[in-house]
Chain A
Amino acid sequence: DVKVTQSSRYLVKRTGEKVFLECVQDMDHENMFWYRQDPGLGLRLIYFSYDVKMKEKGDIPEGYSVSREKKERFSLILESASTNQTSMYLCASSLQGARYNEQFFGPGTRLTVL
């Protein structure tokens, strides 16, 4: 089974801190995604990566950056955390060229910025 793990389930940070959220997948997937989930807004794509060192902006990239130095790892970086970045962050991965384009999700990181 595909396993997607995220470094923390819960995280509390202060305004202005630099925050790193890590995601690792163990099935050699090319595509990896970062979403944030907020009540009433569903899932919104922040960034995705389709290969090592490749990235593409999603719908809400402002205030975020990403890093993909190895195929299995995709990091989301909040350069200077703000209270409006308090949210649930979900990482996902998928196999490029797969017939069904299924995405596999991690358990999520609930980030609170004080």
Chain B
Amino acid sequence: GNSVTQMEGPVTLSEEAFLTINCTYTATGYPSLFWYVQYPGEGLQLLLKATKADDKGSNKGFEATYRKETTSFHLEKGSVQVSDSAVYFCALTGGNNRKLIWGLGTSLAVNP
């Protein structure tokens, strides 16, 4: 079945550092891929998405490219801010397209 593996945290960076959070997946067919973010004390919200190979999702300075050849969807940001401190989840559509398959989440702490 479909599965998602994302890098373990916590990740700690200084403000303005470059961020990469790795996400790789196993899937049959052509799933859509997502990054969700959970700020402290809140529910999850969609950060960005990509629906086919070579699509690039982007939002709030974050980017991720759907790489079918490497089955990856790594999250990147060129210059992180303290306000980016959160837990980031990679996900993909499940076999019946109703459910999402989730990674375990990566906690990011950005220090001033």
A residues sitting closer than 8 Å to B (CB atoms) are 4, 31, 33, 40-43, 45, 48, 50, 58, 90, 92, 94, 96, 99-108
Inter-chain contact A41/B51, CB cutoff 8 Å = no
B residues sitting closer than 8 Å to A (CB atoms) are 32, 34, 41-46, 49, 51, 89, 93, 97-100, 102-105
Measured CA separation A101–B97 after assembly (Å): 7
Measured CA separation A101–B93 after assembly (Å): 7
The count of A-to-B residue pairs whose CB atoms sit within 8 angstroms is 50
Between A and B, 5 residue pairs with Cβ closer than 8 Å are: A58-B99, A92-B44, A101-B97, A106-B43, A107-B41
Inter-chain contact B43/A103, CB cutoff 8 Å = no
> Closest CB of chain A to B23's CB: distance in Å?
13
Chain A residue nearest in CB terms to B42: A107
Measured CA separation A45–B99 after assembly (Å): 9
Measured CA separation A45–B91 after assembly (Å): 13
> Closest CB of chain A to B86's CB: distance in Å?
13
For B41, the chain A residues whose CB sits under 8 A away are: 107
Counting chain A CB atoms within 10 Å of each CB, the highest count among B44, B49, B89, B102 belongs to B44
Which one of B43, B45, B49, B99 lies within 8 Å of A100 (CB-CB)?
A: B49
Measured CA separation A42–B23 after assembly (Å): 14
Which one of A31, A42, A101 lies within 8 Å of B89 (CB-CB)?
A: A42
Measured CA separation A64–B105 after assembly (Å): 24
For B49, the chain A residues whose CB sits under 8 A away are: 100, 102
Contacts known (A101-B32, A101-B93); A43 close to B43, Cβ less than 8 A: no
Inter-chain contact B93/A42, CB cutoff 8 Å = no
Inter-chain contact B42/A101, CB cutoff 8 Å = no
Besides A4-B43, A58-B99, A90-B44, 20 other A-B contacts (C-beta < 8 A): A33-B99, A40-B104, A41-B104, A43-B89, A43-B102, A45-B99, A48-B99, A50-B98, A90-B43, A100-B32, A101-B93, A101-B98, A103-B44, A103-B46, A103-B100, A104-B46, A105-B43, A107-B42, A108-B42, A108-B43
